[in-house]
Every structure is written in structure tokens, then in C-alpha cells.
Structure 1
């Protein structure tokens, strides 16, 4: 793809969020289904870059909201993983399937729950996402939300009739006993091996506190990390109430 090719100029405009340039290029004949030199679709790049205006432009000029970039990555999933609520809403409004499955069995709802993005979860469920569709390892969505520690995601799933409430309650109780930092360190050790030094960060989030653990290399630089929210106590209360049947 030469530098003089208008399609080559589309992707820098996407990354820069230059809507005017995107409009000019589309009017000049660049396809809304264009791909870059690596095969990534324009819509996927705009979605993961949180460019809702450009996403709408591409959709309005013919981009397929469900087309998998590189044959593996769904724009809706990329936006959901990043917590890009406005992009998610634009894709759903254009007809994206809320239960589209990308590589390795992930759906947008799985990503939203794993990352604790409540607003995205709410948008997906409102659009008809299946609240009981298992994740890649067969885990029920409610268990995923309980593990994450996102009270908002748990409440939204319950409002849409999600099952596996007993399993989710057990998972929330387990995390309360283990502790979020210990859980994160154990998961990182499984993925990257034991013995790495680490640092823990706690930051406020809309639902309380998010705990992030990072592993450090020999120069003291972070090379891997993960995070969880800390709503497990409230989740236990919510789930206990949802599983308690009134006495007759």
C-alpha cells in the first residue's frame, strides 16, 4: 500500500481521530471496509480506538458491524473490552449482533464482564445479549461478574434473569476469603511463573476500589498485570437476597 494510496491515509486519520479527513477520504472513494497492511479493518481500528464519530461514519457508508477483523476480532468485542460505551451503542444501533462470537469463544458481554464495564454490560443486555451464554471456558456470565467484583454488572445480569446464582455466590464468597491481591498474584504466577517482584496499586472506581497488581522485571519495570474490583461483600449480599425464596 503506497503512501499515495488514499486508503493508506485512512488509518492515520482513524488513529488521530480526524473525522474531517475520514469524510474526505470516504467521499474520494475509499471503502468503509478498507483494511490496513496487517489486515485490520477500518471499523475495528476505530472501535478499539474509541472513535464513536468515525465508527458512525464508517457504518453509514457501508461497513459491516459484524465483520471480523483479521477473521478473528469483532468490532463490538474490541469496543466492549475497552469500555467504549458510545462505540458499543453505535455498533448495536447499526445492527451488530450482541452475541457475536470472535476468536476463542469470546463475546462482547464476556469482555465487558471480565473488565467490569457496567455501562457496556447494560447496553449489551438491553440490546438482547444472552445473560446466560457461557464464556470461553464454560463459565456462566454471573460467575464472571462475581469474580470481577463488579456489583453493577451483577445487578444488571440479575435484572435480566441470569442463572447460576449459587455458583456466583460461592465465587464471591471465595474471593472474600482469599483476598483480591492474593487472587491476582496467584493468577499472574500461573501465567508468568512464580518469584517475580510485584507492586500493587489501588485506585478509586465508580463502584468503589480497583486493585491492580503488576509484575516487575529485573529493571523494576512492569511487564504484566491484572486487576479486579472489590465489590465482593456487596455481591454476596445481593446474591443471597436473589436466591432467598419467600416463605409460604
Structure 2
């Protein structure tokens, strides 16, 4: 009986130790995610050094790098990239750290993620690459930089729209959108690539009264 009691006691201690280890890893991962979200680069380094998983995810399957990218915490992203974080890890909404840069328009974050080798063909929940939301939102500097990566300028999303079509359809035709149209044309965008209804970028520009954009498209040979 005494020997059995010792064995049971030893097993209980082992299980308790294992439980503490698992709990410790979970706490570290939670700290990593929280620190990344609030831009605490030093805290992120500490969490990683203590054994946190660089690819740990929260309840929405967001990694620390995605949280950092969404909040434009560039220094945190640099720390995570140096630790091997994946710029292509998708969350429950199919966002990735790289795709988020097209939404925020952060050139600094774009440059922080490039050394990690982002997949330029990864698609968001609308079937678009990072160029498309940047065109929609008028992120001139981002469009300029992302076009240097060789991203597909004529990628068509699930709505049947390219970056050029989104710039016209969802833009207001103002100076930022005019500049984006110029850059897309210079990058070789197909100015006659129509939407699913057969309406071209020029057709949309004319219908929306975007005279300057229509002029740029006509000068590029659009019909």
C-alpha cells in the first residue's frame, strides 16, 4: 500500500507539472498576442525568448504578426519576421499579415514584411490580392511600392474587378485616384479589361463623371 501511495503521489506530481507547463505555454502565447496588438516590441521579444510560439493564434485565428500588421506596429513586425513569423498565415476571415497592408496602405509595413517572402498571390475573402483594396482606398504610396514587387496588376477578384476597375468604381476620381490610374497604366494594366457586365474602366469613369480619369484612360488607348 505504501509503495502504491508513493507511485500515485509521484504520478500526481508529474501530471501537475505537465499541467503547469501547458498552462505556461498558453499564458506566454496570450502575452505574445496581447503585446503584439498593443505595439510592445520589447514585450514581444521577451515572450518569444521565454518560449512563446511565434505562430500562436487568438480566437479569430490571428497571429501576432497579423495583429501587428493590422495596427501598423512596424517594430513589432520586424521582431516577429526576424523570429520566422509567417506573412501568409490566414485568419478566420482569410486575412494575412501581407493582405492587411493593402487595406492599411502602410508602406513601412510592406517593407517590413517583404524579407519574410510574402505570397503575392494569396487572396482575401473577396478573392483579391493586396493591390486591389489599396486601389479602392486611394493608397497612392502603397500602390506605387507594391507594383515594384511584380504583383499581378490585372488580377481579377471574385466580384470580377481588377485594381483599375476598383479605383474607378469605388473611387471619387480625385487626385489620388488619378495618380493610381496613371501608375496602373504605366505598370501595364489592361485598360479595356471589363467587369462581368462588360463595362470597361472607361465606361465606368464616363458614367461616374470622372472626366480626368476618363481622359487618362483614353490617352492610354482605352475604348
If the TM-score is normalised by the length of the shorter chain, which range does it land in?
0.7 to 0.9
Q: How far apart, CA to CA, are the structure 2 residues paired with 1:69 and 1:160? A: 31
**Aligned-pair CA distance for 1:2:** 6.2
Aligned to 1:194: none
TM-superposed CA distance for 1:238, in Å, is 1.3
With normalisation by structure 1, the TM-score equals 0.70
Tell me how far 1:20 sits from its aligned partner.
0.9
Partner in structure 2 of residue 242 of structure 1: 220
Distance in 2, matches of 1:71 and 1:102, equals: 8
Secondary structure, aligned partner of 2:220? helix
Native 8 Å contact 2:135 2:143 kept in 1 = yes
Indicate the residue corresponding to 2:181 in structure 1: 154
Count of residue pairs brought into register by the alignment: 190
Larger proportion of strand:
1
What SS does structure 2 have at the residue aligned with 1:104?
A: coil
Q: Distance in 1 between matches of 2:63 and 2:144?
A: 26
1:103 is paired with a residue whose SS is coil
* Structure 2 residue matching 1:105: 3-state secondary structure: coil
Secondary structure of 2:208's partner? Answer: helix
Match of 2:15 in 1: none
Q: Distance in 1 between matches of 2:47 and 2:66?
A: 17
Task: Report the Cα offset of residue 71 of structure 1.
Answer: 7.0
| Residue among 212, 228, 233 paired with 2:211 | 233
- Largest Rg, 1 or 2: 2
Deviation per CA, 1:166-210: give whole Å up to 9, x if none.
71111111111xxxxxxxxxxxxxxxxxxxxxxxxxxxxxxxxxx
Higher helix share: 2
- Measured in 2, the distance between the counterparts of 1:174 and 1:30 equals 54
Residue 174 of structure 1 corresponds to which residue in structure 2? 207
Unaligned runs of 5+ in 1: 177-231
- Alignment partners' CA distance in 2, 1:145 and 1:78: 18
What are the Cα deviations for residues 79-112 of structure 1, in whole angstroms up to 9, with x where unaligned? 2112222112222232112222132312111111
Distance in 1 (CA, whole Å) between partners of 2:168 and 2:215 is 12
Matching of residues 56-75 of structure 1 within 5 Å:
56-70=78-92, 72-75=94-97
Contact kept, 8 Å, 1:32 with 1:59, in 2: the verdict is: no
Flag structure 2 segments of 5+ consecutive residues without an equivalent: 1-21, 194-199
Q: Answer whether contact 1:15 1:46 (CA < 8 A) is retained.
A: yes
Deviations 1:86-144 (A, max 9, x none): 11222223211222213231211111111111111122211011111112211232221
TM (normalized to structure 2)? Answer: 0.77
Q: Quick one: distance in 2 between partners of 1:98 and 1:63?
A: 16
Matches of residues 97-108 of structure 1 in structure 2 within 5 Å?
97-108=119-130
Q: Write the deviation string for residues 203-240 of structure 1: whole angstroms up to 9, x where unpaired.
A: xxxxxxxxxxxxxxxxxxxxxxxxxxxxx332122112
SS of match in other structure, 1:100: coil
Q: Aligned match of 1:12 in 34, 41, 44?
A: 34
Deviating 4+ runs (over 6 angstroms): 1-4
**Structure 2 residue aligned with 1:136, among 158, 168, 187?**
158
